[in-house]
Structures are given as C-alpha cells and as structure tokens.
C-alpha cells in the first residue's frame, strides 16, 4: 500500500490538488472510489474541505485533535492501521495541516510500518512565497526538504519574472525534487499526478 502525504503552507492549494488527484485516480468509474482513502488532518473545527471531498464519494477520515507530525504521531499510526484494516485501499492521500512538518510524518510512518510506501509532495504558493519566506523559513524549509515532488502553485497569479525568482528561491532548499508549475484553479496535467504517485521512473 502507498501513502501520499501532501504538505505545504496554509492556503497553498493542497485541497485543490487533492480533489483533482482523487478524480484522476478514480476516473470515470465511481465504484473505484473505494480504492482511495483521504485523510484530512486539520486542527480545529469540521472543515469545508472535508464536506467537499465527501460529496465526491470518497472515504474521508479526519484527524482533528492535533497535528499528526508531533502530538499525534501515535494516533496517526493507529489510524492508518484502522484504515488499512477497514477499507483495504490501494492508496491513502493525507493532507497535512498547513503547519505540519511532513519530514517527521514520513519518519513516523516508515519507522513503524514497514509495508507502506511513502511519497511526499509539497505545494507552494507562488503568489505569497516571498512574503512568507522570512517569517516561516524553518517550516517551509522542512516542508520542501521532505518532498520528492514540489508543486509551484497559483502561477496564474504571478508574472513570469516573479515565477523565475520564486522557483530559484525554492530550489535553494531542495533541488533534487521533481518540480512542476501549476495552477490548481485549472486542470492539472496528468504527468503531475503520476509523478506525485511515484509512478514514473525518473526521480
Ligand atoms: N487563483 C488561484 N487560486 C487558487 C489556486 N489554487 C488554490 N487556489 C485558491 O486558494 C485558496 C486555498 O486553496 P486550498 O486548496 O483550500 O488550500 P489548502 O492548502 O488546502 O488550504 P488549508 O487546508 O487551509 O491549509 C482557495 O480559495 C483556492 O480556490 C490557483 O492555482 N490559482
Ligand atoms: Mg486544505
């Protein structure tokens, strides 16, 4: 079984990407929605994201009482075992909170569950990157270094010069990941999803 962790700062576009990815995997056969379980780790109230995902017929599990990267790592492992037992999905997609450290989420999972394959995608917000970088550097750095795929999102909101600048800045934190510039407000290319799922060979 495989788990795809989506990290990235608050409002960077994680849910927008998850929605399209889930649709891409399920395709035109709604019965195959059962192959995918989506975990939304949000701190606080019942979320709109959650309602939106459920309306697509997906199985959505919530982890609300804290952040899975730190206070809830035990619950995360337990939750994953329960999901594997109850649903036997081929894929779990986990949207981490915007302030989560995906690096430690991956460590928790790989250390305690040897039979699970872990992919990490980081969603970044091209529009707000420069503004967030200084105050959030430690967090953004961790989110980026943990990732095998980095999405530079919201390219519809920036001009080409700024995009070049933002990409160069992001690459100083991780130049090994696969990079894709996207707008999750529009149709995302299938090659992006295949890379996120680790289905293409090039790394
Ligand atoms: N213009 C534009 N807006 C976008 C894009 N991607 C996401 N948005 C908008 O940005 C806002 C945040 O997107 P979400 O997908 O909810 O982001 P998120 O990372 O899941 O947010 P949190 O879960 O709250 O951390 C929403 O209003 C989206 O419609 C994009 O590529 N272009
Ligand atoms: Mg979200």
CATH number at residue 75: 3.40.50.300
Residue 83: inside a domain: yes
Sign of CA dihedral 166, 104, 94, 179: positive
Ligand 1 pocket check for 67: Cβ under 6 Å: no
pLDDT tens for 173-191 read: 999 999 999 999 999 999 9
pLDDT at 60 over 80: no
Residue 181: inside a domain: yes
**Nearest to 33, CA basis, from 5, 57, 55:** 57
Ligand 1 pocket check for 10: Cβ under 6 Å: yes
pLDDT of residue 70: 54
Please give the distance, rounded to the nearest whole angstrom, from the Cα atom of residue 111 to the centre of ligand 1: 32
Residue 22: inside a domain: yes
Q: Which of 37-41, 125-129, 164-168 has the lowest mean pLDDT?
A: 37-41
Separation of alpha carbons 126 and 105, rounded Å = 24
pLDDT tens for 135-166 read: 999 999 999 999 999 999 999 999 999 999 99
Residue 6: inside a domain: yes
Q: Which of 31-40, 85-94, 146-155 has the lowest mean pLDDT?
A: 31-40
Ligand 1 pocket check for 7: Cβ under 6 Å: no
pLDDT of residue 147: 96
Most informative mutation of 5, 13, 159 for ligand 1 (most atoms within 8 A of CB): 13
Q: CA distances (Å), 182 to each of 32, 47, 61, 101, in order?
A: 26, 25, 27, 23
pLDDT of residue 173: 96
Residue 37: inside a domain: yes
Ligand number nearest to the C-alpha of 9:
1
Ligand 1 pocket check for 106: Cβ under 6 Å: no
Q: How many domains does the chain have?
A: 1
Separation of alpha carbons 153 and 92, rounded Å = 22
Residues near 78 by beta carbon (within 8 Å), at least 6 away in sequence: none
Q: Which atom of ligand 1 is nearest to the CA of 19?
A: 15
Residue 203: inside a domain: no
pLDDT of residue 41: 75
Residue 64: inside a domain: yes
- Give the domain range for residue 62: 2-196
Rounded to two decimals, the pTM is: 0.89
Please give the distance, rounded to the nearest whole angstrom, from the Cα atom of residue 114 to the centre of ligand 2: 28
pLDDT of residue 57: 65
Ligand 1 pocket check for 19: Cβ under 6 Å: no
Please give the distance, rounded to the nearest whole angstrom, from the Cα atom of residue 129 to the centre of ligand 1: 14
CB 4 within 8 A of CB 196: yes
CB 77 within 8 A of CB 23: no
């Amino acid at each position: 079984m495989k788990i795809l962790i989506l990290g990235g700062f608050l409002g960077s576009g994680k849910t927008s990407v998850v929605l399209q990815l889930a649709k891409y995997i399920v395709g035109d056969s709604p019965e195959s929605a059962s192959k995918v379980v989506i975990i939304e780790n949000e701190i606080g109230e019942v979320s709109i994201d959650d309602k939106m995902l459920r309306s697509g017929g997906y199985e959505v599990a919530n982890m609300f009482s804290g952040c899975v990267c730190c206070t809830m790592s035990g619950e995360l492992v337990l939750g994953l075992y329960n999901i594997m037992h109850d649903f036997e999905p081929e894929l779990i997609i986990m949207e981490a909170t915007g302030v989560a450290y995906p690096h430690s989420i991956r460590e928790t999972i790989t250390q305690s569950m040897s039979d699970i394959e872990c992919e990490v995608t980081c969603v970044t917000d091209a529009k707000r990157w420069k503004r967030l970088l200084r105050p959030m550097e430690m967090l953004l750095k961790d989110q980026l270094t943990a990732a095998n795929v980095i999405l530079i999102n919201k390219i519809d909101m920036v001009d080409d010069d700024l995009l070049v600048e933002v990409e160069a800045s992001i690459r100083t934190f991780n130049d090994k990941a696969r990079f894709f510039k996207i707008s999750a407000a529009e149709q995302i290319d299938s090659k992006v999803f295949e890379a996120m799922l680790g289905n293409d060979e090039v790394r």
